[in-house]
A and B are shown apart, each in its own frame.
Chain A
Amino acid sequence: MVDFSLSPDAESLRDLARKFARTEMAPHAAECDRTSRFPEEIYRKAHALGLMNLNVPTEYGGSGLGLFEQCLIVEELAYACGGMTTSTIANCLALEPILLGGTPEQQRRILSPFCSAYQLAAFCLTEPSSGSDAGAVKTRARRDGDAYVLDGEKCFISNAPHASLYTVFATVDPGLKHRGVTAFVVPRSTEGVVVGKDEEKMGHRASATGSVRFERVRVPASDRLQGEGDGFSLAMRTLDQTRTPIGALATGIAQAALDHAARYALKRETFGKPIAEHQAIQIKLANMTQAVHAARLLTWHAAWTIDRGGKGTLESSIAKCFASDAALHVADEAIQIFGGYGYMKEYPVEKLLRDAKLTQIYEGANEIQRLVTARELLRAYS
């Protein structure tokens, strides 16, 4: 029989994340949002507690968690601050291609230093002219002896301004489209790596996002992940793993918005009684509650499917897409319940709306998630 209860082990991990989120992250969330500060001290603490490289196996010093436990942790962190969560889990995204496609030697050499000391990695797929169309990357990788020379630019890269390592997707031949895409790991210290400025963003302002330019960057062939042309599939398999935690991140934002709205509705009075006693508000709160529950259960189901060895492409696309739409909707309704106060930066809910918005865009825009969902669905009927 299916079981929705958490094991004591899972509960103890969730409790750790909850404690960290509420005592270390939440007190700084508003300030980091206002000033767009990257709170490195918080990320260092997250690393020290083992909350950073959640997907890296314990043999390399990581936390070695399954996707379900990762999701429990990510939801708790995002409840306190979406932006800090993005920066905390960006290593999981950047290191996943090495977990999926690295040789044992590459895994040991590259992953271990990330676990033994605080360091950030960044996943470099998106380019100024290719986001969802990942097969159209223009960054070139030209073979030169026992190395490759990389030229091109990546943009909107989470943690890029602070990362020491980049996982880069480049093409050995643009004519080959997605069959030319090849993955490399490139240390920031390599000559020709130019890190752009931290972008000003609408939300996730405690996270840093920037561009990385590769100007005749020489990368030894030993730092290529899998073979030439294997990069597109590697990127897609990576996103199959990391999409579900974005559902959890969105669920955390939605839960925070619901909690703020419900507490406020019980306190705020209009027409002689708390607004929670007006049906107009009750219906909003009920719809928000439905959305949060559904987002969480879809996320748990996707994680459970993948942890049991399933591919989970359909489930994770549904979860990411639904939860991020739910987060935007619930945050929007929370602002509506707060009324004018909700629109003010002094209150916490407008930040949730700005943070929720990104979850519809990154790690596969929701339009792509719907295309994937439709493709998987139709395949079952054809």
Chain B
Amino acid sequence: MEIVVCVKPVPEAESRLRANGAGTAFDPEGVKFVLAGYDESAVEQALLLKQAAPGSRVHAVALGPPGRTDEVLRASIALGCDSATAVTADVPAFHDPVATARELAEAVRGLGKVDLVLFGKHAGDDEEGLVGSAAAEALGLPFVGFVVDLRHDAGRLRFRRSVERGEETWEAPLPLAVGLQQAWNDPRTATLPAILRSRKAPIARRASGPPDAAAGSSVAERFALPPPRQGAKMIEFKSPQEAAEKLVRLLREEAKVFP
């Protein structure tokens, strides 16, 4: 099976973000971009499928400036991906999802015959969740989202899909594009020798195409951090009754959690 995982470089969870000069995105200067969350699970899922079907290959693809893509692609190789492709584009931290999807789809097409394209359900930074389905459309592949536990069985895939109050069990033929639900699979940690090897691994590079007027043109207008949280309010009391009365009054009048 030829499996592609599209991975997005996202800021490290502990990053302290600030707005860029134009106030339209966070300033990527000094921010460390990593393979995180859903994409890490997607890589893990791809590697599990590869283990179950020997001879399979896993390709990682990412879009962005080399400073961002290379770290996540090397991390993917260190985890066990066989090859990596960077679509080099000087895109802002928030890039139009349909344009991103088209660029990724071109890169996936460039890899030749592909049986399965995996995406995290959504990215760990903007949480838009649009790229997977848009890329599937651009590739002409069927897309199923919110998937867990993919298994390969004689040219078909079996998987489960979380739905409200339950779960569906699916079976689908290849080729297919899939958006994976959150980390159910306890992603592996790359070993030190694998990390060292990944540092020397080749990364195939594609230049991004010219701006596509037909591909969506959504532009982030404003980026702002949430206002600082207000400190907790301490209730002073002499008896439990007094504490309860004051708490109920605060919940009703200030927090407005009851009418």
CB neighbours (8 Å) of B192 from chain A are: 13, 16, 49-51, 63
Interface assignment of A12: CB less than 8 Å from any CB of chain B: yes
Binary contact readout A8-22 vs B (1 if CB under 8 angstroms, 0 otherwise): 110011001001100
CB neighbours (8 Å) of A48 from chain B are: 191
Whether the Cβ atoms of A50 and B74 lie closer than 8 Å is no
Whether the Cβ atoms of B193 and A12 lie closer than 8 Å is no
Residue of B nearest to A9 (CB): B199
Whether the Cβ atoms of A8 and B195 lie closer than 8 Å is no
Whether the Cβ atoms of B193 and A63 lie closer than 8 Å is yes
Interface assignment of B215: CB less than 8 Å from any CB of chain A: no
Binary contact readout B76-109 vs A (1 if CB under 8 angstroms, 0 otherwise): 0010000000000000000000000000000000
Q: In chain A between 1 and 47, which residues have their CB closer than 8 angstroms to a CB of chain B?
A: 8-9, 12-13, 16, 19-20
Whether the Cβ atoms of A20 and B189 lie closer than 8 Å is yes
Of B70, B74, B190, which is within 8 A of A16 by CB?
Answer: B190
Of B70, B74, B191, B199, which is within 8 A of A49 by CB?
Answer: B191
Whether the Cβ atoms of A12 and B74 lie closer than 8 Å is yes
Q: How far is the CB of A262 from chain B (nearest CB, A)?
A: 16
Whether the Cβ atoms of B193 and A50 lie closer than 8 Å is yes
Q: How far is the CB of A330 from chain B (nearest CB, A)?
A: 23
CB neighbours (8 Å) of A58 from chain B are: 193
Whether the Cβ atoms of B193 and A19 lie closer than 8 Å is no
**Complex Cα distance A16/B188, Å?**
12
**Complex Cα distance A51/B195, Å?**
12
Most chain B CB atoms below 10 A, which of A8, A49, A51, A63: A49
Residue of B nearest to A61 (CB): B193
Interface assignment of B115: CB less than 8 Å from any CB of chain A: no
Binary contact readout A219-251 vs B (1 if CB under 8 angstroms, 0 otherwise): 000000000000000000000000000000000
CB neighbours (8 Å) of A8 from chain B are: 70-71, 199
CB neighbours (8 Å) of A20 from chain B are: 189
CB neighbours (8 Å) of A13 from chain B are: 192, 195-196
CB neighbours (8 Å) of A12 from chain B are: 71, 74-75, 78, 195, 198-199
Binary contact readout B157-188 vs A (1 if CB under 8 angstroms, 0 otherwise): 00000000000000000000000000000000
Residue of A nearest to B197 (CB): A58
CB neighbours (8 Å) of B198 from chain A are: 12
Whether the Cβ atoms of B195 and A16 lie closer than 8 Å is yes
**Complex Cα distance A8/B71, Å?**
8
Besides A8-B71, A16-B190, A48-B191, 5 more A-B contacts (Cβ < 8 Å) are A12-B74, A12-B75, A12-B199, A50-B192, A63-B193
Residues of B within 8 A of A (CB): 70-71, 74-75, 78, 189-193, 195-196, 198-199
What are 22 A-B contacts with C-beta separation under 8 Å? A8-B70, A8-B71, A9-B196, A9-B199, A12-B71, A12-B74, A12-B75, A12-B78, A12-B195, A13-B195, A16-B189, A16-B192, A19-B189, A48-B191, A49-B189, A49-B191, A50-B191, A50-B192, A50-B193, A51-B192, A58-B193, A63-B193
Residues of A within 8 A of B (CB): 8-9, 12-13, 16, 19-20, 48-51, 58, 63
5 closest residue pairs by CB, A with B:
A50-B192, A9-B199, A50-B191, A49-B191, A50-B193
